[in-house]
Amino acid sequence: MAGPAPSPECTAYLDARLIDPGSGREMTGGLVVRNGLITDLGPQVTRATAPRDAAIIRCEGHVLAPGLIDCRVFAGEPGHEHKETLDSASQAAAAGGVTTMICMPDTDPVIDDVALVDFIARRARDTATVNIHPMAALTKGLEGRQMTEIGLLTDAGAVAFTDGKKSVADPQLLRRALTYARNFGALVVQHVEEPSLGSGGVMNEGLVSTRLGLPGIPAAAEIIMLERDLRLVELTGARYHAAQISCRQALDAMRAAKKRGLPVTCGASINHLVLNENDIGSYRTFFKMSPPLRSEDDRQSLVEGLADGTLDVIVSDHDPQDQDTKRHPFEEAEFGAIGVETLLPAALSLVHNEKIPLMRVLHALTAGPASVLRLDSGRLEPGAPADLVLIDTETPWQVDAEKLKSKSKNTPFEDKRFQGYALRTVVGGASVFTA
């Protein structure tokens, strides 16, 4: 585990609405933490029964849940520290109730070597306030030609293998990488976009792109890549995770693959669950992302996929970009939006506006990613790490981009009104953020 050392103290959280999405249990009660681990939880934990040496935190009926695990964060370090560092990203994460960030290997240099995994672990320990695990590159230099040292990188602490923002296009290479990954039980994570069909495109291909005169990326680019990958998974039996699904038919393909029993999972970014292509309006570059924001029908399909469990994970796809890369004509601006700090509030909007049960939404932010990545966290159980978030699910507030903790301010939720936020974030038993 790369992150802060566990706190030796004892803390009791009282009068909480305890939600453990992994078990589906919800109850009113308290939770005790000692030495960075949960030691007890339930209705029996009260003021009277709490350990005598425990510091008391009154939760006043608010939700106490496992801290969020964000599976897709581009932290900028090493190489792009002017956009974000592990330190600044972790502060943003803590402020958003995220206790574990999974960093992508798209750095400079690329995380494709044991030494770089060590570097991330060391920097995370020294500078970050939340847990950080890297995904390592699946191919050297993200070039799609030679696979990386999957065994050594796994031992060093890489939680999965991916070419980040790039898709592995060569089917032969991907087949071999999947076969080899299976050998180590490693997870392969793919950005599903057929590169040549998507090349030159800057937004979803459709009526909106036609009106704006912008080159489009057809949904078929994603569907083709995913369907091909699913065949390769069938051939190799490796564990496979589609990083971000953005359209209805890709989700259908994933649903069918799960039904066939393939070892596959998928995620979607919160952006694709709450925004659509129309939000681009008149060329707003903060809404330029990859995969592109799709149609309203596609967005609704993702909401359905979240409700029925086809979507395992919601990610922020946190991708800091500064003015130098965003203040350009839409076609020339960089892809990407920040989101780790607004992940929870935006996800709560799915509870308020789409009537998805809170348990289900939190599952895709905690137990879902923990299960995909085989992490020990993401659960409220005795013996589990005390990575927690205390959530006010109701109070309305408005996003002020300047107040976000990320070094870059490219949020698609500028001035957005949300309902609910993280009141307190606890990592390894220590409070790293209080609202």
Q: How far is the CB of 192 from another protein (least distance, A)?
A: 20
Minimum distance of another protein from residue 196's CB (angstroms): 12
Q: Please report whether residue 332 would count as binding another protein according to CB under 8 A.
A: yes
Task: Rank residues 234 and 334 by Cβ distance to another protein and give the closer one.
Answer: 334
Nearer to another protein, 207 or 235 (CB): 207
Closest CA to 92 of 41, 128, 140: 128
**Residue 36 DSSP one-character state:** T
In the shown chain, the binding pattern of residues 107 to 146 toward another protein, with x for contact by CB under 8 A and - for none, equals: ----------------------------------------
**Burial of 387 by CB count in 10 Å (0-12 exposed, 13-18 middle, 19+ buried)?**
buried
Q: Is 327 in the site for another protein (CB under 8 A)?
A: yes
The three-class DSSP label of residue 365 is coil
Tell whether residue 265 is a contact of another protein (CB under 8 A). Answer: no
Q: Pick between residue 82 and residue 327 the one whose CB is nearest to another protein.
A: 327
Pick from 185, 200, 309, 329 the residue near another protein by CB under 8 A.
Answer: 329
Tell me the one-letter amino acid at 75: A
φ, ψ for residue 195, nearest 5 deg: -65, -35
Single out the segment in contact with another protein by CB under 8 A; choices: 51-59, 85-93, 147-155, 201-209: 201-209
- DSSP code at position 34: E
Q: Is position 172 an interface residue for another protein (rule: CB under 8 A)?
A: no
Residues 207-226 that bind another protein (CB under 8 A): 207, 209-216, 218
Give the shortest CB-414-to-another protein separation in angstroms: 15
Q: Where are the beta strands (DSSP E) in 35-148?
A: 37-42, 55-58, 63-66, 68-73, 98-103, 131-134, 136-137
Number of chain residues interacting with another protein (CB under 8 A):
21
Q: Is 106 in the site for another protein (CB under 8 A)?
A: no
- What DSSP letter does each residue of 289-335 carry, written as one string? -SSPP--HHHHHHHHHHHHTT---EEE--B----HHHHSS-GGGSPP
Q: Which is nearer to another protein, 212 or 391 (by Cβ)?
A: 212
Residue number with CB closer to another protein (330 or 335): 330
**82 near another protein, rule: CB under 8 A:** no
DSSP β-ladder status, 239-242 and 136-137: unpaired
For another protein, the binding residue among 331, 334, 354, 414 (CB under 8 A) is 331
Q: How many CB atoms lie within 10 A of CB 195?
A: 14
What are the DSSP calls for 376-411, one per residue? S-S--STTSB--EEEEEEEEEEE--GGGSSSS----
Question: SS3 of 73, please?
Answer: strand
Sign of CA dihedral 250, 251, 256, 258: positive
CB of 409 to another protein, least distance (A): 16
Least distance (Å) between residue 332 CB and another protein: 6
Q: What tokens does 276 get?
A: 């659509």
Q: Nearer Cβ to another protein, position 337 or 367?
A: 337
Instruction: Tell me: does residue 330 bind another protein (CB under 8 A).
Output: yes
Smallest distance from the beta carbon of 324 to another protein, in angstroms? 8
DSSP assigned state of 79 = T
Paired residues of 33 in beta bridges: 11, 38
**Whose Cβ is closer to another protein: residue 81's or residue 331's?**
331
- Is the CB of 211 or the CB of 355 nearer to another protein? 211
Whether 317 is catalytic: yes
Near another protein by CB under 8 A, which window of 68-76, 204-212, 358-366, 380-388?
204-212
Residues in contact with 383: Cβ distance below 8 Å, sequence separation at least 6, in sequence order = 37, 38, 39
29 membership: H or E segment, kind and range = strand 25-34
HSE of 291, CA atoms in CB hemisphere, 13 A: 40
- To another protein, the closest distance from the beta carbon of 277 in angstroms equals 12
Which of 20, 70, 106, 317 is flagged as catalytic? 317
Of 42, 51, 141, 206, the one binding another protein (CB under 8 A) is 206
Whole-number minimum distance, CB 208 to another protein, in Å? 9
Per-residue mark of binding to another protein, 270-289 (x: CB under 8 A): ------------xx------
CA distance 296 to 319: 23
Residue ranges binding another protein (CB under 8 A): 205-207, 209-216, 218, 282-283, 324, 327-332
User: Which residues are tagged catalytic?
Assistant: 317
